[in-house]
Structure 1
Amino acid sequence: MANNTALKENPDNHVMMNNAFYNSHISCGNLTETSDYFGTRTTVCLGIMLIVTIFAAVFGNLMVIVVIVKNRAMREMIYMFLLSLAIADLMIGALMAPLAFYNLLKECWGLPRFMCTLNLVINTTLLVTSIHTLMWMAVYKFICVKRVFSPPSRWVGNLLIVLAWAWGLLLAFLTTHFNQAVYKPKTMQCGPTYPINSYILHAANQLINLIIPIIVMMVAYIKIYLAIRQSGEFQRQHTITTEGRQRSEARAVAKTLFIVLLCFLLCWLPYFCYTNIGAFINDKGDIPAYLNAVAYAFGYMNSACNPIIYAWRFPEFRKGYKDILCKKPQYTLAIGPLGRPVMTTRKKQVRSSSAVTTTSNTSNIGQMLTRGSNGSVGNDKDNVGQRKSKEIELYHLGDDRDSVFLHADENNKFLS
């Protein structure tokens, strides 16, 4: 009775005791009671969402990385930013989301204690690196639009990418150095202990890692839009086509990057709400149980959305995805340095002894190879009668990607 009276007289004691529980590490080995914080319905829904996110993020971002690395035409700096973002998304899908799914089911930490600290480090690094990569990517694209014919050198872009990762690692180190990593109830990952005076720390964190990057990105994209619009008016007045094409490409890329930014903000919006609620609620036990799980599940889903956006907006990625999934060799006929036709695959070249015209579409080879008796291209009337007899088909023999030959009818020679 006396204890209850003292607790009513000083309700702050209850808040301190409750917060002390939320700052303690919940280990499965020391857990005496099982608590179903999330409930069966929430666990099933978020569990399915995490499973889909894991497979989509890992598979999709692996394809993005392979496409950029294998395609020499995608060595531009803007694709290097996308490569950096894909690496961060791949690590989220391969490391963070599976651990969140495990904790969603267990509701306690059953792994070694050092992995709890590692979980906090990786989580902080990837989240901060992602948003700062988006910020520096917007800045770099703005510089490229303003300086179409004299873009910044590659070392500038590489430096910005390194800065994004370095800042994420530094913030993760500071977080684990000044705070202990613990697994708290109603969460899906390890996090820092709640500090006594968290308002200043929370405000600084939100300002540096959220507000400033968003302001920089919005200002950069607005200026990109205005610059492209002004260039379009100048182009119409002076009929300049070369710069106009470059501006049109820049506008398409800038629109894509803005879509990536918008998707990032929408997916991580529940997390930003969760962090603000947790910072201003004194009694941490009053935080809704589902809020942390929903916040991180939607945040991790962003890692699966970016490869879909790239396929939607970039023809290069669509072609690269098809090459990876279909695994069909592509053949090209072109004129060689000695005037002889050259048929190339991804690995080797196959030469022939008669002249052909250049084409990248193998289905039109017969039409493009139609010539007159003197070696020059005949007129349309002569060519129509010859196309049926001189139509050439392309065959792919066996499993060897390079065992290719052109087969013609009896009136034509074999081209090998």
Structure 2
Amino acid sequence: MNSNLSTPADLQLCYENVNGSCLKLPYSPGPRMILYAVFGLGAVLAVFGNFLVMISILHFKQLHSPTNFLIASLACADFLVGVTVMPFSMVRSIESCWYFGRSFCTFHTCCDVAFCYSSLFHLCFISIDRYIAVTDPLVYPTKFTVSVSGMCIGTSWILPLVYSGGVFYTGVYDDGLEELSNAVNCVGGCQTVVNKNWVLIDFLAFLIPSLIMIVLYSNIFLVARQQAKKIENIGSKAESSSDSYKSRVARRERKAAKTLGITVIAFMISWLPYSIDSLIDAFMGFITPAYIYEICVWCAYYNSAMNPLIYALFYPWFRKAIKVIMSGMVCKDSSATMNLSTE
């Protein structure tokens, strides 16, 4: 028996003439076009912006540093969000239907969670890197080497991928909620219903690294203020070459920490509403209206598009690298050794 025979004429289905099809609740043409433009812009910025960050750091030898390798790896995670997550979520959010199959739904959800936590872990390691660089700038090069950066990058990828794969491919995330999960995942649906235990674990996995970053950056800015006052106090005195070098290094590291601190703040502001909403939903019986949930989700997704904009605003080397790449000069053999410094 066709499912649409029992469906009122004014209701639409994701799949006509298919038993168990989800109801389709599309937007009117005007809002639909606006949403496609807004969500599509986020996906384009996430893909091309982060691609430019990766190319800039990997191509120009001057940018080969432990911190920048972490930034390039972070950009890779955001790039993958723009490629594997945002376009398909855009269709689901606007059309209220999932047209890409059940298997890809699981893969999509797995990527969504994995790349989110990968970004979080990258930012946590970057905050540790900046803490060492600001508090002990002269010893920093011997403490945070390229090999240490590589281990941080490996950890930031392996743990999230193993965790998300283990949770979503084993099906443990909806233990005890099988009836609700089956109801929302009709034909044409791709909604993940997560039980209280896993939501709590997810929230703690977000909260603990976030608290670590808050503590580290608070200490970074306290130390930075102390260093700035110290430099002011000795500014009127004859400064030795050693003191001058120390002050230049400290100033450079503080500037980098400030920019990356803005990146961390942007991440937490973007993801905090979704994390809180997920926690409330799981413990209050999934009471969040669909449109509130979508707003929280897309605030989180848009974080992947924000980082390249932050770098463009605060990093002169990134702006110069973009000009070189976009002008085609990057194809020249000598471009890799170009000086991108504005000092």
TM-score bracket for the superposition, by shorter chain length? 0.7 to 0.9
The alignment's C-alpha RMSD in Å is 3.1
Tell me the percent identity: 24
Deviation at 1:154, TM superposition (A): 2.1
- Give 1:380's aligned residue: none
Q: Which amino acid aligns with 2:264?
A: L
1:51 pairs, out of 29, 40, 62, with 40
How many residues are aligned here?
Answer: 305
Alpha-carbon separation, structure 1, partners of 2:306 and 2:33: 21
The SS at the match of 1:60 is helix
Identify, as 1 or 2, the structure richer in helix. 2
Q: Secondary structure at the match of 1:108?
A: coil
Counterpart residue number, 1:263:
266
Report the TM-score when normalising by structure 1.
Answer: 0.66
**Equivalent-residue separation in structure 1 for 2:335 and 2:138 (angstroms):** 32
Q: In structure 2, do the counterparts of structure 1 residues 265 and 189 end up closer, same or farther at CA, with 3 Å as the change threshold?
A: farther
- Cα deviations by residue, 1:283-320 (Å, 9 ceiling, x for unpaired): x3x43021222122221111111111111111110100
- Larger proportion of strand: 1
User: For the pair shown, which has the larger CA radius of gyration, 1 or 2?
Assistant: 1
| Distance in 2 (alpha carbons) for counterparts of 1:258 and 1:204 | 25
Residue 206 of structure 1 pairs with residue 203 of structure 2: yes
Question: How far apart are the structure 2 equivalents of 1:242 and 1:179?
Answer: 54
Is this contact kept in 2: 1:47–1:104, CA < 8 A? no
| Contact 2:35/2:94 (<8 A) preserved | no
Q: Does 1:179 align with 2:179?
A: no
Given that 1:42 and 1:290 are in contact with CA atoms closer than 8 Å, whether structure 2 keeps it comes out as no
1:295 partnered with 2:296: yes
1:127 partnered with 2:130: no
- Residue 193 of structure 1: SS of its match in structure 2? coil
Alpha carbons of structure 1 residues 129 and 85: separation in structure 2 relative to 1, 3 Å: same
State whether residues 107 and 185 of structure 1, in contact with CA within 8 Å, keep that contact through their aligned partners in structure 2.
no
1:343-375 superposed Cα distances (whole Å, 9 cap, x missing partner): x96499xxxxxxxxxxx9xxxxxxxxxxxxxxx
State yes or no: 1:162 paired with 2:165. no
Structure 1, gaps ≥5 residues long? 1-25, 332-343, 349-359, 361-416
Q: Match of 2:54?
A: 65
Separation of aligned partners in 2, 1:27 and 1:119: 19
* 1:40 CA displacement: 6.2
Check conservation: 1:38, 1:290, Cα contact below 8 A: no
Q: Residue 278 of structure 1: which of 250, 263, 281 is its match?
A: 281
The verdict on how the C-alpha distance between 1:142 and 1:55 changes in structure 2, with shifts beyond 3 A counting, is: same
Distance (Å, rounded) in 2 between the aligned partners of 1:183 and 1:128: 28
Greater RCO structure (CA 8 Å; 6+ sep)? 2
TM-fit CA distance, 1:32: 4.2
Give the SS at the match of 1:241. Answer: helix
Could you report, residue by residue, the CA deviation over 1:186-223 in whole angstroms, capped at 9, with x for unpaired residues? 9x98454343xx1x43333212x221111111111111
Query: For 1:222-241, what aligned pairs fall within 5 Å after superposition?
Result: 222-238=218-234, 239=239, 240-241=243-244
**Equivalences for residues 5-404 of structure 1 within 5 A:** 28=15, 29-32=18-21, 34-36=23-25, 43-151=32-140, 152=143, 153-176=145-168, 177=170, 178-179=172-173, 184=184, 190-195=190-195, 198=196, 200-207=197-204, 209-238=205-234, 239=239, 240-282=243-285, 284=286, 286-328=287-329, 346=335
Aligned partner letter, 1:259: I
1:263–1:302 Cα contact (<8 Å) kept: yes
One-letter amino acid of the counterpart of residue 306, structure 1 = N
What SS does the aligned partner of 1:179 have?
helix
Instruction: Find the aligned partners of 1:347 and 1:129 in 2 and give their Cα distance.
Output: 28
Q: Are residues 172 and 250 of structure 1, via their aligned partners in 2, closer, same or farther at CA, if it must alter by over 3 Å? A: same
Taking structure 2 as the reference length, the TM-score comes to 0.79
Gaps of 5+ in 2: 1-12, 175-180
| Distance across 2 between alignment mates of 1:50 and 1:63 | 20
Q: Kindly provide the amino acid, as one letter, of the partner of residue 75 in structure 1.
A: H
Write the letter of the residue equivalent to 2:39: L
Instruction: Measure the CA separation in 2 of the matches of 1:288 and 1:77.
Output: 44
